[in-house]
Amino acid sequence: MTLTSTPITLKDDGSAHILGAGRERIAELVREMADRDRSIERLNQLVDERAWQLQAAEADRTALRLELAMIYQSRSWRLTHPLRWASRRARQAKASLRTVVRTARAHGPLAPFVDLLRIRRDHGIGGVKFWLMNGVAPGMLSAPILAPIAVAGERPSLAGQGPDGYIYRAPRPPVDLAASIAALAEPVTFSIVVPVYNTPPAILEATLRSVWAQWYPHWQLVLVDDAGTDAATGAVLDQIRDPRVTVLRLKENRGIAGATNAGLAVATGDFIVFLDHDDELTVDCLYELALCISRDDPDFVYSDEDKITEDGCFTQPFFKPDWSPDTMMSTMYTCHVSCVRRSLLHDLGGLRSEYDGCQDWDMVLRIAEKTTRIQHVPKVLYHWRIIPQSIAADLGAKPYVVATSERLRADALSRRGMDGVLEPLPQVPGYYRVRYNVRGRPTVSIIIPSRDNHHVLAACIDSIRAKSTYDKYEIVVMDNGTREPPSLAYLNRIRAWPGVKVVRHDAPFNYSELNNLGADAATGDVLLFLNDDTEVVTPDWIERMAGYAQLDHVGAVGAKLLYPGGRETQHAGVLNLENGPGHAFWRLDPDAHGYFLRNLLEYNWLAVTGACLMVERRKFQAVGGFDQSLPIAYNDIDICMRLHEAGYYNVMCQAVRLIHHESVSRGVDHISAEKQERLARDRRRLYDLHPNFYQHDPFHNPNLHPNGIHFEAAR
């Protein structure tokens, strides 16, 4: 057979048709491209417009800052200070009178005096002041930052707005939920342990429903009836037929720790999740915990939380920092939800009954002594119900808890070999701070850069010498090229003082370089970098700061700085916000609680100000001292970030107070356009050095306002 090729030909009308269709398609594509070009142009215009609006807003903000600075520095602001003081006192007097009158009307004319004497006896002057200002009954004094007593009830909807304006919106499951769970390398199983004792049936059923509603399917629920006497509660437990649920009946009441340990004995999960019998898990709780465990392989995980009010709405969200060991010694901040690797909990011996009421706090402190693999999920995964006789309603409802919380921390100090004591918090009865004693008698070198500023410098040094109760210190004054005869005379005079050095460095101002040279000239094992425009208020300031600075895990230690007059806060810790580092609680009353007592208790922070910063020499040298490429601004933030990156935790010693005549020495950086540009340049340099901290602060929380210096919730 012979194969021949047959040529294919197109008719003229067919080829014309094809070519015509091609031209139309090309024209259509050209039109689409033109439309897209116009859309892109419109988007670019919109971006330019938004950028211009942002620039204008930033300019407005800068102008407002300038205006505020001018107001606060103006003569009229100083002259009207007595009026503002009188106005505050008048408001306080009015509030006190209202409390006295209300108490007298409710309980008789002698009741205010009886209450006052009782509060004075139990809570001291601070308790009396709080009662007068807030009108809170004595039984409520221990928990002013918590919710009022309320009775639990059914909530109308998950999005119900609480009394503080907070709204919790239940999340929707992701479209790839099943695939996401299946993709986990080793899906963990959770054992949810719930001690039960005479729980109202409706509340217990709500707790159970929150477990059955979990997106994540790999769980076991262990309900431990702690010899309850309520038949209705027992009936709810009897009706459960779910094979994933184990119900234990204890013959004698063992308390919350004993009942929980009984549940742990039959738990089979990889991780234990603790759930109180009157609280609820969010639907995504176990799912988020599983994702965290798969990603980070932690031993202990905790999350954010909120509370359920009487009418079923949500309130008081607690958006927490990442793991903070010193915060943990100040307050039980991890709380709910709490998830622990079962093998680790077994090694710890479970919960300890001698700390009932604070057994979870004791557990977390002991966990932190065994592992550093601790993770925080910054999402609300737990609803804490407010009911009478609950700590969620009132710490005073269980007064033994206060004594137990003090005892368990004293136990932790002893167990860790740390020399410290628990001190009552003067402003808030029922809370304690940890004061660490100085180990040995180290020399503390106080390094003070200064130039042509002898009046301010003299006030600073005089306050150190007159008020400091710790006497083993030296003062190293870094003279940055003083020219004025009175200042030169003062420096020449103090050279002869014992324990004072004056080191001259006549070069362009570089704060980092001056402090590094000061550290080289100093002889102390503990370095305290101090602005010359500060004055000591707290006599034992050096001991308090040094006690923290000597802890192996602590990097930089900061102090609370107040504006002249001592009634407004200038610095109580630095937040690394969206717009850059900023001072928390600026202009707030130094005795105000702040966010979950963060203005009063010793919390860990990412950074503290260099105006008063203490650090051990060995740690300072380990991170290379101050970065001299940051001569003016953010050098203190940079060294704090480097200390954190090296594994240390920076801490604010809120019990220490100094007056800070802010920027008397070098001026205010945001006044002139030149200084604004320099500030922006230094900020860019800071984040070039630490890109992981750009718009990120592990001791803040992404659920809070990105530029809120008072820890305002994001809206």
The pLDDT tens digits for 543-577 are 999 999 999 999 999 999 999 999 999 999 999 99
Contact by Cβ (8 Å): 557, 435: no
Which long-range CB contacts under 8 A does 167-173 form with residues at least 24 apart? Answer: 167/314, 168/306, 168/314, 168/317, 168/380, 168/383, 170/282, 170/283, 171/282, 171/283, 171/284, 173/215, 173/283, 173/284
Q: Looking at mean pLDDT, say which of 60-64, 178-182, 540-544, 680-684 comes out highest.
A: 540-544
Half-sphere exposure of 7 (CA within 13 A, CB side): 3
Rounded Cα–Cα distance for residues 614 and 594 (Å)? 24
- Tally Cβ neighbours within 10 Å of residue 213: 14
Rounded Cα–Cα distance for residues 261 and 240 (Å)? 22
- Tally Cβ neighbours within 10 Å of residue 141: 23
pLDDT digits (tens, 9 = 90+) for 87-102: 777 877 887 887 788 7
Closest CA to 337 of 283, 297, 411: 283
**Lowest-confidence region among 36-50, 507-521, 529-543:** 36-50
Which pTM does this prediction carry? 0.76
Cβ neighbors of 635 (< 8 A, separation 6 or more) are 511, 512, 515, 610, 626, 627
Closest CA to 651 of 593, 701, 693, 603: 603
**Lowest-confidence region among 70-74, 358-362, 406-410, 570-574:** 70-74
| Per-residue confidence (pLDDT) for residue 185, from 0 to 100 | 81
DSSP letters spanning 305-350: EEEE-TTS-EEEEE---S--HHHHHHS--S-SSEEEEHHHHHHHTS
**Lowest-confidence region among 123-132, 552-561, 645-654:** 123-132
Amino acid at the residue 225: D
| Per-residue confidence (pLDDT) for residue 493, from 0 to 100 | 96
Mean pLDDT of 202-210: 94
Rounded Cα–Cα distance for residues 196 and 234 (Å)? 10
Question: Is the backbone peptide bond immediately before 175 cis, with ω within 30 degrees of 0?
Answer: no
- C-alpha 23: how far from chain center: 65
Q: Looking at mean pLDDT, say which of 156-160, 165-169, 632-636, 671-675 comes out highest.
A: 632-636
Token output for 637: 């933030």
Give the residue with greater pLDDT, 171 vs 185.
171
Closest CA to 487 of 463, 460, 453: 453
pLDDT digits (tens, 9 = 90+) for 386-434: 875 554 444 444 567 889 999 999 999 999 999 999 999 999 999 999 9
| Per-residue confidence (pLDDT) for residue 102, from 0 to 100 | 73
Q: Looking at mean pLDDT, say which of 84-88, 122-126, 215-219 comes out highest.
A: 215-219
Mean pLDDT of 219-248: 94
| Per-residue confidence (pLDDT) for residue 147, from 0 to 100 | 28
| Per-residue confidence (pLDDT) for residue 97, from 0 to 100 | 85
Amino acid at the residue 672: S
- Burial (Cβ within 10 Å: 0-12, 13-18, ≥19) of residue 363: buried
**Lowest-confidence region among 8-17, 63-72, 110-119, 497-506:** 8-17
The backbone torsions φ and ψ at residue 194, rounded to the nearest 5 degrees and listed phi first, read -130, 105
Rounded Cα–Cα distance for residues 220 and 141 (Å)? 39
Rounded Cα–Cα distance for residues 312 and 154 (Å)? 5
Closest CA to 707 of 695, 691, 694, 698: 695
Rounded Cα–Cα distance for residues 64 and 591 (Å)? 27
Angle at CA of residue 277, ends 276 and 281, nearest 5°: 65
Residue 696 φ/ψ region, left for φ over 0, alpha for ψ in the -120 to 50 degree band, beta for the rest: beta
Q: How confident is the model at residue 677 (pLDDT cuts 50, 70, 90)?
A: confident
Share of the chain above pLDDT 90, in %: 69
Cβ neighbors of 368 (< 8 A, separation 6 or more) are 325, 328, 374
Give the residue with greater pLDDT, 380 vs 388.
380
Q: How confident is the model at residue 149 (pLDDT cuts 50, 70, 90)?
A: very low
Which long-range CB contacts under 8 A does 124-129 form with residues at least 24 apart? Answer: 124/424, 124/426, 124/429, 125/426, 126/425, 126/426, 126/427, 126/428, 126/429, 127/429
DSSP letters spanning 235-299: HHHHT---TTEEEEE-SS--HHHHHHHHHHHH--SSEEEE--TT-EE-TTHHHHHHHHHHHH--S
Question: In Å, what is the CA distance from 14 to each residue of 7, 32, 218, 308?
Answer: 16, 27, 66, 76
Rounded Cα–Cα distance for residues 188 and 343 (Å)? 13
| pLDDT of 538 strictly over 70 | yes
The beta-strand segments (E) located in 473-550 are: 473-479, 500-504, 526-530, 534-536
Q: How confident is the model at residue 56 (pLDDT cuts 50, 70, 90)?
A: low
| pLDDT of 153 strictly over 60 | no
Place of tokens 């009207």: 80
Rounded Cα–Cα distance for residues 611 and 534 (Å)? 8
β-bridge partners, 557:
614, 651
Closest CA to 258 of 404, 359, 362: 359
Share of the chain above pLDDT 70, in %: 83
Q: How confident is the model at residue 79 (pLDDT cuts 50, 70, 90)?
A: confident
